[in-house]
Amino acid sequence: MNAFRPGLLPSLVVALLLPLLIGLGFWQLARAEEKRALQIAFEARRLSAPVAVADLQRQADPSHQRLRLHGRFDDSHALLLDNRQRGGQVGVELLQPFHDQASGLWLLVNRGWLPWPDRRTPPQFSTPLQPLELLARVHVPVGVPFQLQADPDGDDWPRLVTAVDAAQLWRRLGRDGLAYEVRLEPGPAAYHAEWPLLAMNPQRHSGYAVQWFALAAALSGLYLYLGIHQSRQIQREQVHEHSHESGPFHS
């Protein structure tokens, strides 16, 4: 029976990579389960009746909660969230402070997506000045938004930003406000307000898990092949040497 001899270097490579590939596969499966749980929670909140802002503060998890707002927009301040895409078009999301009269709190309301095809001119938008009745949803981001560098400070409005921090905005403006972004439902004052629930759905995570497991299987198969091939190669060399040593002209 042939001995299994893959060699030291391939064994070290497999010992390092195989657990990593398998771990990445199980991590993607766990992410898929998290996303399924988020979808279930979102669906339950989607069917629920909207609540007042004062009621929201008593909830342990406000994610995706529908809100009923009544008040006015602040037309002096606006954030333009950069690098947003819809249907292959580049643009921004428009966020503005909104004063809810019932609770007395400020909310950072995302009014939706605006196209921005020419960055030489600012995106065009208008702000309703009359009191409004609005429906919105609380958006709590999963994890910390990735930024290459922090957004620069400045007093120019509207401000172009790459991440939203409502609490920081209220500190800057000296206002008492909700620490979450809220996203308008389609209706008055909304622009393109179709919100994707997840940046990556559970099926994509499951697909990535399959890819990682397939790479682990391929690495294992290659390792087995190399070990068997090396063993047979060594055996052939030994047989060849033995035939020379025991030949008719061997003294």
pLDDT tens-place string over residues 59-68? 878 888 999 9
**Reported pTM:** 0.70
pLDDT tens-place string over residues 21-37? 999 999 999 989 988 88
User: Worst-scoring range by mean pLDDT, 76-90, 195-209, 228-242?
Assistant: 228-242
On the question of pLDDT at 81 being above 80, the answer is yes
- Which pLDDT score is estimated for 192? 93
Question: CA distances (Å), 77 to each of 97, 127, 153, 224, in order?
Answer: 7, 10, 14, 64
Tokens of 2: 């042939």
Question: Regarding predicted confidence, which is higher, 87 or 97?
Answer: 97
- Over residues 8-30, the mean pLDDT reads 92
- Which pLDDT score is estimated for 137? 92
- Which pLDDT score is estimated for 244? 59
Q: Averaging pLDDT over each range in 54-58, 161-165, 229-233, which range is the top one?
A: 161-165
On the question of pLDDT at 249 being above 60, the answer is no
At which residue do the structure tokens 């927009």 appear? 73
List, as one string, the DSSP characters of 136-187.
Answer: EEEE--SSPPP-SSPPPP-S-SSEEESS--HHHHHHHHT--EEEEEEEEPSS
On the question of pLDDT at 97 being above 50, the answer is yes
- Which pLDDT score is estimated for 251? 47
